[in-house]
Chains A and B, each alone.
Chain A
């Protein structure tokens, strides 16, 4: 026999998917390794195929990563062992149902939605989703107005939390609660990642108490470490629940502030979601979910904003400003 032909990785993966789609009853591992393109060239009829078996394990992971439902079945009546396991891709779970179609307008909108992600795995996933969408052959409507929307995912904890929540892993991290100076270690089951007011949050359940907590990703000050424990998958729309909960807090908290007329604060805070005019001229009523975060937001406006109430926000605003002043009036030597 001639020297084995080198089969490119994508050809091996493609051949594996085709073979597993075509089989009704599934193929055993040795059937796969001895007959499927890319494996069969390296298969030893009598000998050790450990390397090839490891290759197969990795390929399965890669294929599943693409959303291909590669399943393992144990034929009834046969003894339970590794050799009798069969692999297949059930057609119904693999194929996009025929009644799912997208209009030209919807396709254009999905193109924009995919464009939103420019970094990290979210960008990889949306790019792949758009390739699959194009398989349907729909030509997208050209949008009237050119858009370049972008959601950033720069918090280092985003990717590891996204992995943990997909795998139902309990994780541990250090968290610096807004308004506090010491970080504390948290052990939680992450159930959703959500962006609210431009900031990424993680909604998580405390395994001991069952309580739901929201964490600001920017305040996570350590690596995300899986504890080894897992939690049962949750089938509720956790992202929506988390957003609804924070929205309730937002609606329940109102700040009364005074803004300088014609200032940047007067202009932009009036355009902030939910802002209403107060009783006096120049007074605005703002909604907020977290007094410490609003205090930081308002601090950027300097003397254009005076907080009237609540007192907690007033104090938080003052202390932020005092910190900025102190940091910029100390002499260089005092930084030491």
Chain B
């Protein structure tokens, strides 16, 4: 039977109310803005929630929601000074537990972060995960992520930021060219098993994205960095399109679609083509394309342009030729 779904936001609002009350109980007097900053939400949501809390309570002995059975606030402070002071409290004493799924999401997230310099203390990490599990109202659902070893390059990147010194390394770009780069690290990003450094590149005098596993011989220089994180606006997407990008038509098996979604420009059409889907992707050059397509054998085929097909064919043929030598 179809279930008329309540809008999701009511559930989220409830979680928020149940969290806001114990926070307010711990703070005798607090400004709306302080609470908004702490929870990372709009001040108006705080005001709305406080108004709701202030008129809520329990039915009580008389089942009539008498004054003593309701929360109350210092209304003048609230209306005139935007300050929250709880003057009567009911039913709630403490913060709520995590649900099994909520705890599982954070535990799996922590496992994923095990390559970061921040998580090198494995015993502390295990303690933290155990606390989450114990703080859940049900057994955390089983979602797990392979724990990675601490990454030496990331450790050095962190040191560079801490000491405000430029990082120098050999970088092999996807065209296969090796260059020495000096970089002000701005942000470390990742997508699944792939880690990237975004930074100000002094060679290119622009923000560039570097794959951590293509960085060789990283060292800290004595040069001060020119830019800190926050001084440079980084695009939200890791892979930005450029006007010079090449458009390539491909056939892709539907199951492989998520694997290349970063390359499909917004608004691209997907047209059935036999068992596959025909669409277009954008790549900065064919060197990257041949690696992408060869790594998805039987799942992606370049349709056009002919030159792109040829580059992929040559790449595979050269690899096969090594077996026939």
Which A residues form the contact surface with B (CB < 8 A)? 8-11, 13-15, 17-19, 21-22, 34-37, 40, 58, 62-63, 65-69, 91, 93-98, 100, 102, 106, 108-110, 112-117, 121-122, 124-129, 131-132, 134-137, 139, 143-152, 154-155, 162, 165-166, 176, 191-199, 203, 218-219, 221, 233, 235, 237-240, 242-243, 247, 262-264, 267-268, 271-273, 296-297, 299-306, 314, 318, 320-325, 327-329, 332, 335
Contact = CB atoms under 8 A, between A and B. Distances in A.
A268 B99 contact: no
The binding surface of chain A is classed by DSSP as: helix
A166 B137 contact: no
Nearest to B65: A37
Interface residues of B, number: 133
A129 B105 contact: yes
Contacts of B294: 299-302, 320-321, 324
B14 to A, nearest CB: 5
B74 interface: no
B102 A300 contact: no
Nearest to B171: A267
Interface of B: 3-4, 6-8, 10-20, 22-23, 26-27, 38-40, 52-53, 56-59, 63, 65, 90-110, 112-113, 116-119, 128, 131-132, 134-139, 141-146, 148-149, 157-158, 161-162, 172, 174, 176, 178, 185-194, 211-214, 216, 229-230, 251, 255-256, 258-259, 261, 273-274, 290-298, 301-303, 309-310, 312-313, 315-323
B313 A329 contact: yes
A306 B216 contact: no
B297 A296 contact: yes
Contacts of B91: 17-19, 21-22
Given A100-B135, A144-B158, A145-B161, A18 B56 contact: yes
A253 to B, nearest CB: 16
Contacts of B142: 165, 191-193, 203, 237-239
B110 A302 contact: no
Contact of A102 (B40, B52, B131, B191): B131
A21 B97 CA distance: 14
Contacts, number: 389
Contact of B56 (A14, A218, A264): A14
Contacts of A323: 297-298
Contacts of B132: 110
23 contacts: A35-B63, A68-B96, A94-B137, A114-B105, A117-B105, A122-B105, A125-B99, A125-B102, A129-B105, A129-B106, A132-B96, A137-B26, A145-B229, A146-B229, A151-B112, A194-B146, A195-B145, A198-B192, A264-B176, A301-B319, A302-B290, A324-B313, A324-B315
Contacts of A235: 139
A73 to B, nearest CB: 17
B297 A10 contact: no
Given A58-B6, A109-B113, A18 B90 contact: yes
A128 B106 contact: no
B14 A63 contact: yes
A63 B17 CA distance: 13
A13 B274 CA distance: 51
Given A13-B10, A109-B119, 12 more contacts: A67-B97, A96-B94, A100-B131, A114-B105, A129-B99, A134-B23, A146-B187, A147-B116, A239-B142, A264-B214, A303-B318, A328-B316
B98 A154 contact: no
Contacts of A240: 144
Q: 10 tightest A-B contacts by CB? A: A67-B99, A239-B144, A300-B295, A113-B109, A198-B193, A154-B258, A135-B19, A192-B142, A129-B102, A95-B94
A62 B230 CA distance: 39
Contacts of B93: 91, 95
A22 B103 contact: no
Contact of A194 (B7, B117, B143, B316): B143
A117 B312 CA distance: 34
B58 A131 contact: no
Given A106-B128, A321-B320, A194 B144 contact: yes
| Centre residue among A58, A66, A335 by max chain B CB count within 10 A | A66
B300 to A, nearest CB: 9
B162 A68 contact: no
Given A197-B193, A306-B323, A221 B255 contact: yes
A302 B95 contact: no
B56 A149 contact: no
Contacts of B95: 95-96, 132, 135-136
Contacts of A18: 56-58, 90-92
B135 A268 contact: no
A328 to B, nearest CB: 4
A286 to B, nearest CB: 14
Contacts of B316: 299, 302, 321-322, 324-325, 328
Contacts of B90: 18, 22
A318 B320 contact: yes
B92 A296 contact: no
B135 A14 contact: no
B52 A100 contact: no
A129 B318 contact: no
B319 A147 contact: no
Nearest to B190: A149
Given A146-B187, A303-B315, A67 B100 contact: yes
A299 B294 CA distance: 6
